[in-house]
């Protein structure tokens, strides 16, 4: 097998597995930049995946056909945004410990989604399979380009490109707009931001809800491109992997994008390595734990220091020094 | 001043109670809204765990790892550390205890059993030591590092089982009787539940936590670091050492929880595709128990009861058992929002709120 053929397997499958991680970790960038730690990304992805499954099934039923999964992704984004409001209210307004609230959010999402699945689908522990998932396709024209085409544009889904595009949009929003400046200032020094007339509480709410929307979309993309049905083990660690990507990417949209792609690469290698010479000798456990080990190493500062926003994790109480 | 202190401690005791009531109330509303019978559901839980010896036994059985992982979280909390890594430490301990039991199966019981329990404790301790060291030496936030350690543990243990201890049914072989905590006496007493001698280990651990934290110099330092790192440093304490120590002891409790599952409940370790959930439940147990040994026992009993009773609830009232998880999540939210509960209570009683 030539190196070219290896690339033709690895790159598309990396793009596929990375897309949900990219969306979710971008959501994480918004919330943590605003100063709210969100351990609940996993739960938000669960809600997104669950909503996408139910919505796609319902839309298919009412004749939306191939549009159903796309609409479902949007609905899942809304659902994730609404669900994240719980975290926002509890951790921002009620000043609960953000990690505690995030842990509870994961609990609630896991319990609630399966509870509802059982309720809607008569006691079964999983949803039926959706018929119209977003399939891997060859993108017209672009896939015909020699060399680049087969690697990047064959057997891919549009969602992967949307995810990469989203990273650029997020970067622009966070670093090139007044809104982004306010968001970051609230996460670095809320008291200073407050004296300058920025509504700290409102900015943090926006940050958390954006993470909910992106997390919901991430979960939905995972469902409509990869698993096609929702059950207990659909979202098993994807959200925490996205959290790792966020930290590994040093709280920066491009960092999160790069880290997600890299983690997607490691994950897809652990699945496809059987087909690839030399790699099939390597136990897949190394590839599975690689993202987490590397994140730990990055955090120790051997590979450039990763520093969280200064006020990340601290509730803002007016007048408190 | 004295009166104020009294009022505060009374208030802090009230918050968990109110939270549990609110959580159960919300659970009832959810059941009512989705067409189930809340009264039937709750009464079935109460009846099964108090009147049926099997479920009573299973409740105590479920309490053992819950209390131990609750202690793990609470212990780290006392030093100001949030150990989300109990899940991973538990799996490391589970694997190590089972591996030790199988590896040295020719040893007599009075050596093998303590040795296997010790192996679990050591593995859990090591798994806690790493994030502790990273925190002390490199200021790596323990929340992130313990989450990473969880996944490393999950994948590593399943790889080790697959490679070295694999047997039919996606699990390790059963441990030799010489390493087992199971007892026919306890099983017969509770009509065939999986209750095992591990409850003695749990009781000892509860006493150990109380003794270490409140009766030794080491415990004083650990708690002092939890209150204020700067003040402790100024007083001449070695903050880094205390952080590492706290995470290690916390990991030991978690490792013991895993050993109890391996040597008691299951007698083997299966290949886990996802986490057991015991470690995450431990966070809820510790929070609700206000990070005190007695509180952990009480809230451990509550959650264990809800979970085993949930099975009866599912069969009698038809309510999916996930409702229990929802209730636990809500209870954590309410406990976490103690500030608002306090504020609302103050308003409710018509008193002026004091933060």
**What are A180-192's pLDDT values in tens digits?**
999 999 988 888 8
CA torsion through residues A110, A113, A118, A124, sign: negative
Instruction: Give contacts of A110 with chain B, Cβ < 8 Å.
Output: 322, 325
Query: B332 to chain A nearest CA, in Å?
Result: 6
CA dihedral B263, B269, B274, B280 (to 10 degrees): 10
Closest CA relative to residue A319, chosen from A153, A136, A156, A191: A191
Q: What is the mean pLDDT of residues B251-258?
A: 96
Average pLDDT, chain A: 86
pLDDT, tens digit, 9 for 90 and up, residues B139-176: 888 888 998 899 999 999 999 998 888 888 788 899 99
Note the pLDDT tens digit of each residue in A7-57.
777 888 888 889 999 999 999 999 999 999 888 999 999 999 999 999 999
Calpha distance A171→B139 (Å, rounded): 28
Angle of helix A3-33 relative to helix A41-61, nearest 10 degrees, comes to: 110
Q: Decide if pLDDT at B121 tops 90.
A: yes
ipTM: 0.87
Ramachandran quadrant class, B140 (left: phi over 0; alpha: psi -120 to 50; beta: rest): beta
Overall average pLDDT of the B109-113 stretch: 91
Closest among B313, B319, B312 to B33, alpha carbons compared: B319
Task: Tell me if B19 sits within 8 A of B341, measured CB to CB.
Answer: yes
State the pLDDT at residue A141. 73
b/e code B325-338 from CB counts within 10 Å (16+ = b):
bbbbbbbbbbbbbb
Closest residue by Cα to residue A36 from A110, A109, A86: A86
Is residue B1 predicted with pLDDT exceeding 50? no
Q: Which of B34, B155, B287 sits opposite A289 (nearest CB)?
A: B155
Kindly report the CATH class assigned to A3-300: mainly alpha
Smallest CA–CA distance, residue A4 to chain B, in Å, is 31
Torsional class of B8: left (φ above 0), alpha (ψ -120 to 50), beta (otherwise): alpha
Choose between B171 and A307: higher pLDDT: B171
Q: Contact B207/B290 with Cβ under 8 angstroms?
A: no
DSSP state of A128: P
Residue from B282, B144, B76, B275 nearest A38 by CA: B144
Chain A residue at shortest CA distance from B337: A96
Cβ of A100 within 8 Å of Cβ of B151? The answer is no
Res A264 pLDDT > 60 = yes
Q: Say which of B151, B330, B336 has its CB closest to residue A96.
A: B336
Q: Which two tokens stand for residue A113?
A: 């989604």
Please tell me the predicted confidence (pLDDT) of residue B5: 52
Among the partner-chain residues A94, A119, A293, the one whose CB lies closest to the CB of B337 is A94
The Cα B266–Cα B258 span in angstroms is: 11
Distance of alpha carbon B284 from alpha carbon B281, whole angstroms: 5
Q: Which residues of B touch A233 (CB under 8 A)?
A: 273-274
**Section B218-242 average pLDDT:** 91
Nearest to B246 by CA among B260, B267, B232, B263: B232
Q: Which residue has the tokens 């490199």?
A: B138
Confidence of residue A139 (pLDDT cuts 50, 70, 90): confident
Q: Which residues of A touch B276 (CB under 8 A)?
A: none
Q: What is the DSSP letter of A77?
A: H
The C-alpha angle with vertex B325 and arms to B324 and B328, in degrees rounded to 5, equals 90
Give me the pLDDT at residue A1, please. Answer: 65
């Amino acid at each position: 097998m030539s190196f070219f053929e290896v690339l033709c397997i690895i790159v598309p499958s990396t793009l596929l597995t990375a897309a949900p991680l990219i969306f979710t970790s971008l959501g994480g960038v918004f919330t943590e930049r605003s100063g709210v730690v969100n351990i609940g990304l996993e739960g938000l992805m669960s809600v997104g995946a669950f909503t996408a499954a139910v919505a796609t099934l319902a839309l298919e039923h009412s004749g939306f056909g191939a549009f159903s999964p796309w609409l479902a992704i949007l609905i899942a984004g809304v659902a994730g945004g609404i669900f994240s409001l719980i975290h926002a209210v509890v951790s921002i307004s009620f000043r609960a410990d953000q990690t505690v609230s995030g842990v509870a959010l994961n609990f609630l999402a896991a319990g609630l989604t399966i509870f509802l699945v059982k309720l809607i689908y008569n006691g079964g522990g999983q949803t039926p399979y959706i018929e119209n998932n977003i399939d891997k396709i060859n993108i017209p024209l672009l896939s015909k380009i020699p060399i680049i085409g087969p690697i990047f544009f064959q057997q891919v889904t549009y969602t992967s490109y949307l995810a990469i595009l989203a990273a650029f949009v997020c970067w622009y929003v966070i670093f090139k707009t007044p809104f982004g400046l306010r968001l970051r200032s609230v996460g670095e020094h809320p008291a200073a931001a407050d004296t300058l007339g920025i509504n700290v509480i409102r900015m943090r709410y926006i940050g958390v809800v954006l993470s909910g929307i992106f997390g919901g979309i991430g979960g939905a993309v995972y469902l409509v491109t990869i698993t096609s049905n929702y059950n207990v083990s659909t979202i098993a660690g994807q959200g925490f992997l996205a959290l790792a990507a966020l930290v590994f990417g040093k709280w920066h949209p491009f960092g999160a994008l790069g880290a997600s792609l890299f983690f997607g690469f490691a994950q897809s290698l652990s699945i496809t390595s059987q087909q690839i010479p030399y790699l099939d000798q390597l136990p897949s456990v190394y590839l599975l734990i690689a993202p987490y080990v590397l994140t730990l190493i990055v955090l120790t500062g051997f590979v450039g220091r990763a520093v969280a926003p200064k006020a990340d994790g601290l509730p803002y109480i007016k007048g408190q020094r | 001043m004295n009166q104020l202190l009294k009022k505060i401690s009374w208030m802090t005791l009230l918050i968990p109670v109110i939270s549990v009531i609110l959580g159960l109330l919300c659970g009832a509303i959810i059941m009512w809204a989705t067409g189930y019978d809340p009264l039937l559901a709750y009464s079935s839980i109460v009846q099964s765990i108090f009147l049926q010896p099997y479920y009573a036994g299973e409740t105590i059985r479920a309490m053992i790892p819950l209390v131990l992982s609750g202690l793990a979280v609470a212990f780290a909390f006392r030093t100001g550390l949030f150990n989300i890594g109990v899940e991973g430490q538990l799996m490391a301990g589970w694997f190590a205890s089972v591996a030790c039991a199988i590896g040295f199966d020719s040893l007599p019981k009075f050596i093998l059993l303590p040795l296997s329990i010790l192996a679990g404790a050591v593995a859990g301790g090591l798994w806690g030591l790493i994030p502790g060291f990273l925190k002390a030496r490199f200021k790596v936030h323990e929340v992130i590092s313990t989450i990473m350690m969880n996944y490393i543990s999950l994948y590593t243990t399943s790889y080790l089982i697959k490679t070295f201890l694999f047997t039919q049914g996606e699990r390790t072989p059963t441990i030799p009787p010489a390493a087992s905590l199971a007892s026919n006496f306890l099983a017969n007493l509770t009509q065939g539940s999986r209750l095992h001698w591990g409850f003695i280990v749990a009781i000892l651990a509860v006493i150990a936590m109380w003794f270490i934290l409140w009766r030794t110099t080491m415990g004083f330092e650990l708690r002092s670091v939890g209150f204020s790192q700067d003040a402790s440093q100024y007083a001449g304490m070695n903050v880094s050492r205390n952080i590492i120590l706290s995470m290690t002891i916390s990991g030991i409790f978690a490792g013991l929880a895993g050993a109890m599952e391996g040597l008691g409940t299951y007698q083997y370790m299966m290949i886990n595709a996802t986490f057991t959930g015991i470690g995450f439940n431990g966070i809820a147990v510790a929070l609700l128990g206000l990070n005190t040994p007695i509180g952990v026992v009480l809230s451990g009993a509550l959650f264990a009861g809800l979970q085993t009773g949930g099975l009866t609830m599912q069969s009698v009232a038809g309510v999916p058992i996930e409702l229990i998880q929802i209730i636990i999540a809500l209870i954590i939210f309410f406990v976490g929002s103690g500030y608002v509960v306090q504020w609302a209570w103050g308003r409710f009683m018509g008193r002026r709120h004091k933060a």
